[in-house]
Amino acid sequence: MNTAPDLAMSTAIAATDQTKAAAIPRIKLLSHGFSIDHPDPEIGEQLMTNALGVADREAMHGILRQLVKASVSGESPDEVNLSFMISMVKSIRPRDSVEAMLVAQMVSVHVMAMRCAHHLANADDLAQHDSAARALGRLARTFPAQIEALNRYRSHGEPAITVQNVSVGDGGKAIVGNVTQHARVIVSDKSPTSAARKAPKAAGSRRRPASADAKRAAQP
């Protein structure tokens, strides 16, 4: 009797169960707040804490409350919009509380920008058009600045510099390809142009003794 298909099916089912268990739970909006929709409340809170990149339950609930308020569509929070925002936060993978707050702001700015784009597309008069266009422009400029801030924070505030075409003298070691170092690294000027500028001075200093010898030889 061949049991290989049964074993394969059991493995697939187990993997699916693990994926479901690790998946981020949904948030249910209630009249007095919200709740984490998971069969085990403690596991649900831990999964949400991990997804938001914060350290404890209090920080997780604080970020969630802020995202709920930012998800408001019309006059009440929107559950679908909130799920999208939480999913985007998870995909960026914040690693500490600072990143969690910044990523929550990034997601909120994106949502606000899309709302302004909607208002701009449906503006009834010039005043509404100009107001939505100005707000969309500010939000569109803010979002890439937030991305840059996140990248700078993750690289500990040191912008990377890529050095290409490095010349190596005798006895040195070279690395083939692009070399990326932090801004603290100082690269000395070893270019052929600077060497060429120094060459005429050396040649002139060698010609002075020769001209002096010629003058002495010409004297009677």
pLDDT band for position 137 (cuts 50, 70, 90): very high
The residue with greater pLDDT, 41 or 7, is 41
Residue 48 burial by Cβ neighbours in a 10 Å radius (0-12, 13-18, 19+): buried
pLDDT band for position 156 (cuts 50, 70, 90): confident
Integer-rounded Cα Rg, in Å, for the chain is 32
The region, left, alpha or beta by phi > 0 then psi within -120 to 50, assigned to residue 150 is: alpha
pLDDT digits (tens, 9 = 90+) for 177-191: 555 555 444 444 445
Q: Rounded mean pLDDT of the chain?
A: 78
Distance, CA of 3 to CA of 154 (rounded, Å): 50
pLDDT at 14 over 80: no
- The tokens for 81 are 């919009």
